[in-house]
Structure 1
Amino acid sequence: MAIPKFKKEYVMDALKYIDENGVPFHNQSTKYELVTDDGKRYPPKYVVAVADYLANGTNISTDGFNAVEAKSFLEGQGFTIETKQQEKFELSITAESVVSTDERFTMDNISLGDNYKPLDVSFKKATGEVIKRAYSKGERRNSNQTLPRIACQVFEKQIASLSVEDKESFPVCKYNPDSEMICGIFASVDEYKKHRKTIEYMTYGYDNGRQFVIYCWNIFSTISFVQECLKRFGEPGDQFVLTYREKDEKETVVEEAEAAAQEELVQQFKGYRNPFSSMLIESKNLIFRGAPGTGKSYLAKEIAADIISNGYFDDYTLLTDEQKRQVEFVQFHPSYDYSDFVEGLRPRVNDDGTMGFELQDGIFKKFVTRARKNYEDSQKSKETVEKELSVQEAMAEFFASLELGVDSFKTINGNEFTIVSVDDSHINISIPGNATVNKLALNLDEVRRMLESGLRFEKIKDITSFFGKSFATQAYSYDFAIYKAIKARKATGSKIHAKQTELKKFIFIIDEINRGEISKIFGELFFAIDPGYRGRSGEISTQYSNLHPNPDEKFYIPENVYIIGTMNDIDRSVDSFDFAMHRRFRFVELRADERLEMLALLENEELEAEAIRRMAALNKEIAAVEDLNENYQIGASYFLKLKTLDFDQLWTDYLQPLLQEYIQGMYDEEGIMKRFAKAYGYQRQSRGDVHEATQDQG
């Protein structure tokens, strides 16, 4: 939505209105200020909203336009707009008091902490010694959990020594004088969720796997917790000091959207059929490891079906074609690389028959693009979705009506051109009169964004400003001509009705994840796949970003993407799994006897029971070999081959070759194999045994 229409006099009236009524906290400016001749300062967005209210009788709302649009509009009317100096504030917490250098701070409404971003934190002893936060590797340096984390760091031993009763009654948060105190330090997320079924918590790890889990939301929500720590464990004069600033508008919008999306996704935990499904939703990245044949790949697809169908079924084949687009499967191998996974240059044949190269997205980036579109669309209002659909329809009708290569258009400078083809990303044009460049690929998305903006573009300078560029590109002249042509032909048919997009989950499965060279495949995505850096806070520039239509565009993995990996513990194709991945994935071991339920697929109870008996006996014998362990045991998925084979064929064609490879080079290989065969129940004699038996009889 563009800036509303009204005259300058209504802006002057808005300034008087604000002088009399003030500015609500959530409407205070974070980036720009309108400065009057007498030195007064006003938030531009709120000024425009009030002027619209006075001129047109609308509700006072800043939702329909951004700060840059408000700035440009007011500057166009002759007002002075200055970039606001970011002010830092300091919050000091002692056992007796909580004081901030921001005069607006009050303990009567600590929900205002939603509007601030932490910059630094420290613990100052009465003796003058200062203790800084010990940030874990990979941790965001400052987050809403910064303050309680340093309190746990400083008083870790004292908190750990509290009784269970004292921990559960420990004060944590009180939003205002009339609200109930939120209490509790819990030993695990599961224990926490028995008391509060939300994602609003902080997990602090200590002492080799033990945890403190407490409620935590904004930067002020744990002030009571920190102050109670000082009262119980501190010395007189000790204090915590938090330095913070106001969030700018973009930070607020992005964080609110990501928090809402995460809450919506997590609230769907409870109806899943498979216990690992909830584990994946909580952890975002999961790796199943263990012996071969434990059904890790099959389990991954079961989980995908369970989550995508919201617990309705766990059979992947029952997913619709549309639902299957929410799942992707890839298998790593030693030759797999970044260009296969993320993006890379690929050969192509040009229209004139020559060979060239073009940048193409890899399988993971294509998948994330689908998920990201759903995520971003789900954050849009119904009105925005309808506007976008209307633009898409207008563009489709426009391009369908063209006679490609024949219908001609002119730029603002009189250059004539034709549209020769249109694909998902580009409008390919021919410019006969240009001796230097007679062909050009325009970015389809640029034209779409111009139409969706609802703004009126009168000259090339308007486009340059809209895309935030200092200088116009050659393509903008042709974008402008096509934009005007679509606007001129746009149908005035019935209004499009649409519903808000449902937020969906997308699951990417990587089979044999440890067989690929992880650093070569993921590249800078090491950062983006970290569960703590999902969303725009984990934006990165990819290796080929300079070749993108918009080199400044960042890549990020949204909240609705989940990754499952599988790996065999005995696979030595890669010497060691990348340690950087270890802390980004939750590892779940599957033992050989852990997925026996899959044998129900044999649809024969006697056969199933016999398979389980033989598998258990063989695995017991494998574990008894000194140089082997449970990672070498045989999983149930091998026995699914009994649908088409008998037990002897399963042994000779699959199990025997695998086990021989396990024990190759060991002392008494033949004796070990005989014990394996006996435990399994394979008794058929070899040709050599038959020959020896015949000689004995003679």
Structure 2
Amino acid sequence: MVIQQINKQHVLEAIHYIDENGVPDRNTSTGYVLVTEDGRKYPPKYVIAVARNIATGDNISTEDFNTIQANSVLEKLGFTIDTKREKYVMNITADEVVSTDERFTIDNISAGDNYKPLEIYFKRGDVRISRNYKKSEKRNTNQTLPRLACQIYEKQIVALSNWDKEQFPICQYNPNSEIICGIFSTIDEFKKHRNTIEYLVYSRDDGPQFVMYCWNIFSTIMFVQECLKRFGESEDKFVLVYREKDKKENKQVYEDITSNEELVQTLNGYRNPYSSMLVHSKNIIFRGAPGTGKSYLAKEIATDIISDGYEDDYEMLSDEQKKQVEFVQFHPSYDYSDFVEGLRPKMNDDGSMGFELQDGIFKKFVERARENYEKSQKSKEILEQEISAQEAISKFFDEINLGSDMFKTLRGSEFYITDVDEKHIYISIPENETVNKLTLSMDEVKKLVESGEDFQKISDITHFFGKQFASQGYSYDFAIYKAILEKKSVQKKVVKAEKLKKYIFIIDEINRGEISKILGELFFAIDPGYRGKSGEVSTQYANMHSNPTEKFYIPENVYIIGTMNDIDRSVDSFDFAMRRRFRFVEIKADDRLDMLDILENEELKEEAIRRMSALNKEIVKVDDLNENYQVGAAYFLKLKSLSFDELWTDSLKPLLQDYVRGMYDEEGIMDRFSRAYGYMEPVEGELDEAVQD
């Protein structure tokens, strides 16, 4: 059915026809209306049916096209399409809460379960401020109103004492119910006071987050009013625009909330079934057709595991928790030096260029995980000793003047500390004509201070490190160790035992890199059966380490997720090399349709699913194609900014043309794909008109 032939004049004539003849009962719209400039409203599908009759002479019928197609044509022609459900506006000031919905009463805010927010903003005179959404934060949810209040009054909330924050009123469902109070800095602190998943997290860029109770659209009105009373100016107010939910929306909300706690129990504390799979298997690769949301799923799982089942949105993790996740994308030129370790250019003090050994992204990540793993195995007493030592070392290097404060070895050799970093101490030895510069290991000095032992001579250090002969650096290590002890405070530090955390490394497009070149000897170490010291290996550059005998291993708390498109096998032997070390899980094109919830418009989502399914059925009918060539829901997320036609011409058509290039009847196959998707080529005259517009 061609409705693209309709132009604006046809629609105006159709509206005139409807004004004179009315709309048959069977053609009234239940969800959307076309709104004219003077406020008159018409059912979009019936308008298109009449306009088509005027344009082509076809019968007035709405049977062979849907609402989405009708709305799309009308919006392209410049007409306004709006939801038919009535909108309500609520004004929240310090003194009152007034809604255009006469049924609203502040004494029964549980009624908020039945409403959906459409728009939320803050007003101060003529100034209007909306929410600064964080990346991946959904628009206009039940949490947007309190988050906007936190955004407006963040500094004032931060300035509150801990006691004031815990006593801050948040919600009261009716005059006889308890007042729910408390703004907390972590989810764990929140759950100590109210063990529920009904909460919001407001993430801050430079400090603790705000965690507070939140459920329905009205549940934080009290919090917002209290912010206005304490921090606002006289003209400040928040405006909430909302509508009633339909039956499907209501049902979905209750299904979600009733299933959350059950899911957490069923899936070993996690929301996502793949999370337990990863924890059990250590290594997983998600494979399948392009656009199935494999990368998005990987971040969901990482968030789920790290938050212990409380979150699935990565942006809701704290800055500290985000350090437990790392993301990298493989490509053909990626190699061992990028991933594990390698020599990198460095500018020397004298201006010349040199090279130094630097850790790659995976090794740095594993070091963080290993530090946590090893600390979690230590007693509180040992941790207190290590922290005290670290503070003493930091204090020492903060207070000395690099390059000018002189130190002496036991034999009286003078030297200066010229620079320090996390791994090295750089010294200058003016009196030594042969070697006047030396690089010491920060780790060696740290171990000496942490040991708590009283070393008196160089041989004590040699014995401590298990060496038969002293190295040149031990004399200078000893001198620095003694200097640190002189400044070290005797005050004992009280610390908590370290909690064992999970660390998740995500490798996107894992099959696009040359695996053997990237992993090297780590092929052995990543095997789930060889985690820990049983799988320790010497890396390729071990002879350049400060301690060449030190081994590298991947601890038990590291988990690896890989993603790959089955149709992009850049390395032929990939499956054979990795099959034993990874669990391969197929994600099919229709497995992640929940991603389309971000489209919000239910009819748009349903139309996207219908078109995707029809196109994928046609793809597998082609002899040389299969399920691996189907398109996933991720492509249809572009409908937030593109029309269905634009999605086809700009994204799907080029992809499918690559699939079928060189096949017999290539043009015929693409024509069948186009018809299955529902795209119709514009006629020549219509195309010229579009170009002019």
Distance 2:274 2:350 in 1: 53
Task: Tell me the equivalent position of 2:463.
Answer: 465
Q: How many residues end up aligned between the 2 structures?
A: 425
Match of 1:497 among 476, 494, 498: 494
Amino acid at match of 1:545: A
Q: Does 1:585 align with 2:582?
A: yes
Amino acid at match of 2:471: T
Distance 1:278 1:472 in 2: 50
Task: Tell me the equivalent position of 2:344.
Answer: 346
Shift of 1:318: 1.0
Task: Note closer, same or farther for the CA distance 1:417–1:284 as it changes in structure 2 (3 Å cut).
Answer: same
**Cα deviations by residue, 1:650-696 (Å, 9 ceiling, x for unpaired):** 000000000000000111011111110000000133649989xxxxx
1:162-241 equivalences in 2 (<5 Å): none
Distance 2:471 2:684 in 1: 80
Shift of 1:496: 0.9
Task: Tell me the equivalent position of 1:393.
Answer: 391
Amino acid at match of 1:645: L
Distance 1:426 1:267 in 2: 47
Match of 1:631 among 605, 628, 633: 628
Task: Tell me the equivalent position of 1:562.
Answer: 559
Shift of 1:563: 0.2
SS of the residue 1:656 aligns to: helix
Shift of 1:454: 1.6
Q: Does 1:643 align with 2:640?
A: yes
Task: Note closer, same or farther for the CA distance 1:621–1:268 as it changes in structure 2 (3 Å cut).
Answer: closer
Task: Tell me the equivalent position of 2:678.
Answer: 681
Amino acid at match of 1:511: D
Match of 2:512 among 515, 520, 523: 515
Distance 2:683 2:571 in 1: 37
Amino acid at match of 1:355: M
Task: Tell me the equivalent position of 1:310.
Answer: 308
Amino acid at match of 1:551: P
Task: Tell me the equivalent position of 1:379.
Answer: 377
Task: Note closer, same or farther for the CA distance 1:267–1:281 as it changes in structure 2 (3 Å cut).
Answer: farther
Task: Tell me the equivalent position of 1:614.
Answer: 611
Task: Note closer, same or farther for the CA distance 1:369–1:400 as it changes in structure 2 (3 Å cut).
Answer: same
Amino acid at match of 2:558: V
**Cα deviations by residue, 1:144-197 (Å, 9 ceiling, x for unpaired):** xxxxxxxxxxxxxxxxxxxxxxxxxxxxxxxxxxxxxxxxxxxxxxxxxxxxxx
Distance 1:393 1:345 in 2: 31
CA RMSD of aligned residues (A): 1.7
Q: What 5-or-longer segments of structure 2 have no aligned partner? A: 1-263, 689-693
Task: Note closer, same or farther for the CA distance 1:463–1:637 as it changes in structure 2 (3 Å cut).
Answer: same
SS of the residue 2:574 aligns to: coil
Q: For the Cα contact (< 8 Å) 1:519–1:578, is it kept in 2?
A: no
Distance 2:449 2:564 in 1: 48
Task: Tell me the equivalent position of 2:657.
Answer: 660
**Cα deviations by residue, 1:523-552 (Å, 9 ceiling, x for unpaired):** 000000000000010010000000000000
1:240-389 equivalences in 2 (<5 Å): 270-389=268-387
Q: For the Cα contact (< 8 Å) 1:286–1:563, is it kept in 2?
A: yes
SS of the residue 1:507 aligns to: strand
Task: Note closer, same or farther for the CA distance 1:605–1:397 as it changes in structure 2 (3 Å cut).
Answer: same
Q: What 5-or-longer segments of structure 1 have no aligned partner? A: 1-265, 692-698
Amino acid at match of 2:616: N
Range that drifts further, 325-334 or 573-582:
573-582
Task: Note closer, same or farther for the CA distance 1:471–1:268 as it changes in structure 2 (3 Å cut).
Answer: farther
Shift of 1:572: 3.8
Task: Tell me the equivalent position of 1:162.
Answer: none
Range that drifts further, 417-426 or 268-277:
268-277
1:68-147 equivalences in 2 (<5 Å): none
Distance 1:669 1:470 in 2: 75
Match of 2:596 among 596, 599, 613: 599
Distance 1:427 1:646 in 2: 60
SS of the residue 2:620 aligns to: helix
Amino acid at match of 2:453: L
Match of 1:455 among 435, 447, 453: 453
Amino acid at match of 2:650: D
Q: For the Cα contact (< 8 Å) 1:518–1:578, is it kept in 2?
A: no
Q: For the Cα contact (< 8 Å) 1:372–1:557, is it kept in 2?
A: yes
Distance 2:459 2:492 in 1: 31
Task: Tell me the equivalent position of 1:485.
Answer: 483
Distance 1:561 1:686 in 2: 58
Q: For the Cα contact (< 8 Å) 1:269–1:281, is it kept in 2?
A: no
Match of 1:423 among 417, 421, 424: 421
Shift of 1:455: 1.6
Following superposition, which runs of at least 4 residues in structure 1 exceed 2 angstroms of deviation?
266-269, 572-576, 684-691
SS of the residue 1:570 aligns to: coil
SS of the residue 1:473 aligns to: coil
Distance 1:437 1:566 in 2: 50
Amino acid at match of 2:624: D
Shift of 1:574: 2.8
Distance 1:574 1:375 in 2: 34
State the percentage of identical aligned residues. 73
Task: Note closer, same or farther for the CA distance 1:687–1:574 as it changes in structure 2 (3 Å cut).
Answer: farther
Distance 1:405 1:537 in 2: 44
With normalisation by structure 2, the TM-score equals 0.60
Shift of 1:576: 3.7
Q: For the Cα contact (< 8 Å) 2:267–2:273, is it kept in 1?
A: no
1:399-410 equivalences in 2 (<5 Å): 399-410=397-408
With normalisation by structure 1, the TM-score equals 0.60
SS of the residue 2:268 aligns to: helix
Shift of 1:441: 1.1
Q: For the Cα contact (< 8 Å) 1:268–1:310, is it kept in 2?
A: no
Task: Tell me the equivalent position of 2:45.
Answer: none
Task: Note closer, same or farther for the CA distance 1:350–1:600 as it changes in structure 2 (3 Å cut).
Answer: same
**Cα deviations by residue, 1:263-300 (Å, 9 ceiling, x for unpaired):** xxx99961101000000000000000000000000000
Shift of 1:324: 0.9
Task: Tell me the equivalent position of 1:553.
Answer: 550
Task: Note closer, same or farther for the CA distance 1:688–1:623 as it changes in structure 2 (3 Å cut).
Answer: farther
**Cα deviations by residue, 1:479-535 (Å, 9 ceiling, x for unpaired):** 01111111122223x321100011100000000000000000000000000000000
